[in-house]
Chain A
C-alpha cells in the first residue's frame, strides 16, 4: 500500500485523449533552434505566439456578442444597447427560416420565426435592423451560411441607402457551408453549387469589399456537436483547405483571397488544452499556406479567429455556475490570442439570454481585458513546458486526421461520405457515457446537484411575432415594383444556370425588394437541394 504517491486517477488525459504526465520539466523544453522554428516571434511566421507583434498591448480583442431575436426592431434595440455598453462590434444571429432561405410566411417557418435570431425576409427588414447604426463605423459579423450572398447583398444595399460605399463596409459573413453539412444543419444546396456561391463571394469581395472577411471557417459548431479539441482543429483546417482549393480552381490567385479568410473556434473548459489548440492551429495554418499553397503575402499565412465560449458546456442546473465556466473559457481564448470574443450568457442552456445575463457575459470579458493583466503581455504561456508539449501533441494528432481526410479525397468528399459526422458522433457518445458513469464530472449535474432548482427569469419570444413578420412581408410584396422583381429574378436564374458571378444579380434582386425566399427559390430550381446521406 504505497499511498505516499497515490493519485486521484490511474491515467490523466485531455478531452482529446492526449495523456497528461504528472509534471513537465526541462527535458520537454524546446531547444533554441526548435523555438525559432516552432514559435518565432509574435507577429512572425509561424505565428504560434500570435499574429501581431504587440497583440493586446496594441489593441484589445474585439468584444463581439452574438445577438438577435424576434423582429428587426427588437434586435436593433439590443444592438444599440450593446454598443452603448461598450461593445465594439456587432454580431447578428438570424432565425432558422432566414438561415435556410425561407420567408417568414413559408409553411416550413411555422413556430421558428424570430426564435433563435432575427427574422429577415427582405431588404426592408435589414434596413430596420441597422437603423441608426452607421455602417462605416461598425464592423458587423453575420452568422449566415447557405444564403450568405443574399444577406451580404442586403447589407451592401443598406450601406448604399446610408451613403456608405461598399469599399468602406467591414465585417464578416460566416459563409462556411461544409461545417453545416457536418454539424450545424442549415444547408440548402448540394456541396458543389454551394462551393461555387462561396468562391463567387471571394472573387466579388476581393474586388469590391476589401475589408470584409468573406468567410469564417468554423470549428465552433463541430465542437458543439461533440468533437474533441483535436478534431475541431483538424476538421476546420481540412475544410479551409477545401475552400482554398475551390478558389484556386475557380481561377483566383491565393494572395487575392487568402488574407480575407477568417476562422471561428470554440473555447471549452480544459484550460491548457484550449490555449494549446489555438496556438497549434495558428502554426499549422501558417505552414499550410506558405509551404503547401506557396502564398507570398504574410497576411495569407495568418490565422485570424473569433472565439465563442462553449455553449454545450453550460448547464441548465444552477445556471449562475455558468458565469464561472465562461470566465475560464474566455481567459483561455485571451491567452490563446483570439482576435474577437463572444462570451456566452449563463442562461443559454435554458433559453435566449435576458438583457441582464447578456450584460454579465460582456462584463466577464471586460474584467479579463481590463483587470486581470492577461492583456498586458503577449503569449504569457509561451515556453511553458506543458503548454508547448500540448501544442505539439495537438498539432501532430490534427495533422494525422488531416491526412486521413486528404486520403479520402479532401473535405468535400469526406463530408459527402459522412466521415467527419461519424467521428464527431462517436466522440459525443463517448463523452455522454463518461458523464453517465461519473468519470467526467459536471458540477451541478452529475455531482453536487440540488434537489430543487429554482426557475430563473427567461426571455420569451411570443407567437404574435410570426403574424407581424408575415404582415410586414405582405406589405412589402404589395408595395414593390413587381415587374422589376420578376426581371431581376429572371436575370439571376440566367446567371445561376451559367458561370457568371452571382453577386451582382443578387444585389440587383434585393434592391427591388425581392425576398430572401424568392431569391433562394430561384437557386433551388437551378442547383437542387441537398439531401443528407
Chain B
C-alpha cells in the first residue's frame, strides 16, 4: 500500500492535468526533512472531478500547493495540457498558473479583512486587465448580491458566504482546473450541502475540472468521479467513487471506511482493521508506509514498496496483499 508507480496514468492526449512522481519535501529543523509527498501520480480528464482523501499528514494539501507551484515541488512533473509547470519560472509561470485556481479551507483567513468583497473578487481581472464585466456575473453565480459585495468587507459575512466569495474569486479568471482544499470542512452541515451543490452547478456551468481534497470520504464521494486515497505521502488506491466505496481493496481504505460511524457498509469494526497512530513523515517506515498499522503486514511489506497495479478495469491499488472480492 502506500506505494508509487505510474501504471495507472492514462495517455497524455486524453487528460488535461497530469501529475507524475510528485515529491514535496521541506526542512524540519536539525537537518531533518519532512517527506510530505513521495512519488504521487494522478491525472484528470477535462470535466472530471478527482477526489483526494486521507488523514492529516497524508500530503493531500502539500499536493494541492505543489500543483500551483507554491512552492514548486522538489521532484516530479505537473503538466497542464502541453505545459510543464515545474520548469516554468517568473513571468511564464505567472501566466500559466492562473489557469489553475484554488479554494481553501478557512473561509476567514482566505479573504483579506481590509478589502471590500468586490475588490477581492475582481482582483484577478484587474491584474490581467480583462474580464471586468464578469465580476457581477460570477458574484451572482455563487449566490451573492453584487451591490452588497461592493460595500461590505469579509467580516460582515458568515462562513458559508465567505466560502462563496472565495469561489467567486477563483472563477473570475475562467480557470480550467479548480483545486478545492477542504472547502467545506469548516462549515456546518446545512451550509456544507449548499456549497457542495453550488460547486456541482458551477462545474457544469463553467465546464470546470476539479481536484477535490478532503478528509471526509462521504463528502468526497458525493462530488467525485474518481477517488485517490493517500497515506503518509504515498498513494494507496485509486478507483471510481462507487467502486472504491463498495469494493475497497486497500487495507487502509477499508480501515478509513470502517471508522466512519454509521457508514452502512459491510466491513469489520475499525479496531480490527487499523491500530495505533500514523508514524512521523520525518522518518517514514521502510517498504510500505502503512505496514506499521496494518493487520495484514508481512515481512515483504517492510522490504519492498508496493507498486500501484490494476485490480479490475479502472481500479488500482498499491498493496502486496489487497482484499479481493
Q: Bound pair: A and B?
A: no
Name A's B-contacting residues (CB within 8 A): none
